[in-house]
């Protein structure tokens, strides 16, 4: 009899698993249960949709035909409970679904602020398409907004509101933007980019309360008692994995659902993938969380293969990478580049990885030339991480060298020398390295 796979979530984790299952087993029954009424779309793309740069239809990673080709049964509903002993899930409304293998890929959700006034109408977040539509709709009447938080999402909301003609005051609790990932100079470049675009950036400024009248936002109060009038308050202080279902079912959880090297949870036949899965890195052995689209795809693919076939495939952590835009500058972040904590975030932000702030003994070298700012974390024999801002010509070579853990001993001392032509060294080394691979 065909094996029945039930996948909870309709994001890249679940869809990559569905593709892997279908590739391995043409006869399998694959049921995907997703609570989002808009189906499968690109969440990273929401930033560009919010900023009026792409239409909504461009957010679809698959055409309807491609999705149909996977022969999935898609149910638009919320899973209310999992019964691992009975191999059954229950949907809101009471319908039960039995499974042979279950995947939990429920993603993560924005952490709400707890300041007084947080429940007023006009306090917004950016988790999904409905949130993006809501911000766009509210922007039509809004004149001013306050954005609080850190990481990529805060800036995406800042830029989105700004694109709709809303004046933005952006609050940071500390001296600079995203201090556990970016260098001081990079933070300042981003902040200056925002200021140049007309955003008012407030360092050392804490949101103490949200003010309102008749249930609607009218302004905010900062930690030092300053009041700023506004119509909207956007909160991006990090995300937390949606582990409630797994916890209620008795699965082992820490920050996320704890999974082994094969992405299997503590319950038999139950797997987890995507933002919600807390797996150990096969390189460092440490458990890491990532809120990255591509990581969700790799985890989903591995979990799907293991649900459908034997022998089991171990999950291989890639080097976490994001290509994004910060303060108007194209920015690529790869591997370990920072350390410490960012007090503007209570959890990882969207498009973020624990690994980025796990910088060890590497030496940092930086250069700025021809419209590109490049910072490298150089180990004894390896490049451990890189940030490329502005011109992206070096982004791909660095990505390849870091991902392949290429032996860069021959270039390392040159990179660390005073006044080194870092960009030329990397480019030349990468070309030779590529030739040797052929
Ligand atoms: C605004 C924004 C910007 C981002 N920017 C970047 C970026 O620049 N780079 C990057 O790599 N990543 C980025 N991300 C993160 C990336 O989109 C996520 O890491 C990725 O989508 C995670 O995939 P997932 O499958 O784990 O979960 P998700 O894509 O979150 O999907 C989970 C799904 O599960 C559903 N669900 C939850 N609970 C239930 C339930 N009980 N029953 C049924 N369904 C349920 C949800 O409705 C959701 O559809 C961004 C995300 C957002 C929102």
Tens of pLDDT, residue by residue over 60-94, are 999 888 999 999 999 999 999 999 999 999 999 99
Report the C-alpha gap between 134 and 73 in whole angstroms: 29
In this prediction, residue 286 has a pLDDT band, given cuts at 50, 70 and 90, of confident
Q: How far is the CA of 343 from the centre of ligand 1 (A)?
A: 23
Q: How far is the CA of 10 from the centre of ligand 1 (A)?
A: 8
Average pLDDT over residues 148-159: 96
Tens of pLDDT, residue by residue over 93-118, are 999 999 999 999 999 999 999 999 99
Instruction: Give the nearest ligand 1 atom to 13 CA.
Output: 25
Quote the pLDDT of residue 359: 87
In this prediction, residue 252 has a pLDDT band, given cuts at 50, 70 and 90, of very high
Average pLDDT over residues 417-438: 91
Q: How far is the CA of 106 from the centre of ligand 1 (A)?
A: 8
Report the C-alpha gap between 325 and 331 in whole angstroms: 5
Instruction: Give the nearest ligand 1 atom to 46 CA.
Output: 1
Q: Whose Cα sits closest to atom 33 in ligand 1?
A: 9
Instruction: Give the nearest ligand 1 atom to 42 CA.
Output: 17
Quote the pLDDT of residue 199: 97
Q: How far is the CA of 40 from the centre of ligand 1 (A)?
A: 10
Quote the pLDDT of residue 1: 82
Tell me which residue of 88, 109, 110, 108 sits closest to 33, measured CA to CA: 88
Q: How far is the CA of 349 from the centre of ligand 1 (A)?
A: 12
In this prediction, residue 360 has a pLDDT band, given cuts at 50, 70 and 90, of confident
Quote the pLDDT of residue 235: 97
Cβ–ligand 1 contact at 126 (below 6 Å): yes
Report the C-alpha gap between 111 and 344 in whole angstroms: 12
Quote the pLDDT of residue 317: 83
* Res 251 pLDDT > 90: yes
Tens of pLDDT, residue by residue over 304-336, are 999 999 999 999 888 999 999 999 999 999 999
Q: Whose Cα sits closest to atom 3 in ligand 1?
A: 44
Cβ–ligand 1 contact at 176 (below 6 Å): no
Compute the mean pLDDT over every residue in the chain, rounded to the nearest whole number.
95
Instruction: Give the nearest ligand 1 atom to 291 CA.
Output: 19
Around Cβ 430, how many Cβ atoms within 10 Å? 19
Average pLDDT over residues 346-351: 92
Q: How far is the CA of 153 from the centre of ligand 1 (A)?
A: 13
Percent of the chain's residues with pLDDT above 90 = 91
DSSP H helices in 36-170: 46-50, 64-69, 129-139, 151-163
Quote the pLDDT of residue 187: 97
Question: Residue 108 in 3-state DSSP?
Answer: strand
Average pLDDT over residues 32-57: 96
Tens of pLDDT, residue by residue over 384-395, are 999 999 999 999
- Mean pLDDT lowest among 174-178, 203-207, 338-342, 417-421: 417-421
Cβ–ligand 1 contact at 212 (below 6 Å): no
Quote the pLDDT of residue 283: 76
Report the C-alpha gap between 206 and 309 in whole angstroms: 51
Cβ–ligand 1 contact at 160 (below 6 Å): no
Quote the pLDDT of residue 281: 84
């Amino acid at each position: 009899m065909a094996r029945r796979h039930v996948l909870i979530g309709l994001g890249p984790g679940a869809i990559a698993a569905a593709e892997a299952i279908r590739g391995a087993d043409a006869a399998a029954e694959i049921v995907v249960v997703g609570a989002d009424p808009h189906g499968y779309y690109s969440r990273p793309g929401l930033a560009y949709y919010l900023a009026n740069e792409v239409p909504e239809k461009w957010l679809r990673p698959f055409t309807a035909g491609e999705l149909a080709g996977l022969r999935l049964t898609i149910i638009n509903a919320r899973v209310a409970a999992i019964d691992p002993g009975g191999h059954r899930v229950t949907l809101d409304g009471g319908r039960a679904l039995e499974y042979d293998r279950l995947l939990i890929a429920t993603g993560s959700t924005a952490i709400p602020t707890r300041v007084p006034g947080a429940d007023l109408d006009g306090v917004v977040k950016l988790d999904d398409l409905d949130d993006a539509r809501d911000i766009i709709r509210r922007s039509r009447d809004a004149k001013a907004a306050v954005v609080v938080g850190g990481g990529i999402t805060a800036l995406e909301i800042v830029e989105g509101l700004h694109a709709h003609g809303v004046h933005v005051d952006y609050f940071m609790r500390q001296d600079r933007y995203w201090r556990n990932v970016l260098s001081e100079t990079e933070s300042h470049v981003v902040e200056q980019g925002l200021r140049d675009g007309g955003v008012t950036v407030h360092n050392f400024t804490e949101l103490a309360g949200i003010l309102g009248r008749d249930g609607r936002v009218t302004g905010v109060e900062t930690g030092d008692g300053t009041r700023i009038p506004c119509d909207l308050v956007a909160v991006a202080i990090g995300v937390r994995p949606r582990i409630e279902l797994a916890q209620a079912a008795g699965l082992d959880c820490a920050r996320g659902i704890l999974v082994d090297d094969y992405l299997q949870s503590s319950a038999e036949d139950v797997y987890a993938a995507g933002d919600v899965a807390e797996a150990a890195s096969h390189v460092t052995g440490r458990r890491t969380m990532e809120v990255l689209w591509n990581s969700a795809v790799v985890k989903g693919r591995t979990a799907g293969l293991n649900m459908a076939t034997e022998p089991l495939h171990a999950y291989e952590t890639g080097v976490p990478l994001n290509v994004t835009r910060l303060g108007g500058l194209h920015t690529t972040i790869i591997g370990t580049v920072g350390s410490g904590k960012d007090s503007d975030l209570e959890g990882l932000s969207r498009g973020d990885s624990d690994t980025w702030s796990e910088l060890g003994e590497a030496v940092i070298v930086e250069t700025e030339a021809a419209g590109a700012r490049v910072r490298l974390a150089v180990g004894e024999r390896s490049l451990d991480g890189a940030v490329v801002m502005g011109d992206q010509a070096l982004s791909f070579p660095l990505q390849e060298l870091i991902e392949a853990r290429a032996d860069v001993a021959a270039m390392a001392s040159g990179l660390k020398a005073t006044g080194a032509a870092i960009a030329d060294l990397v480019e030349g080394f990468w070309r030779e390295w590529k030739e040797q691979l052929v």
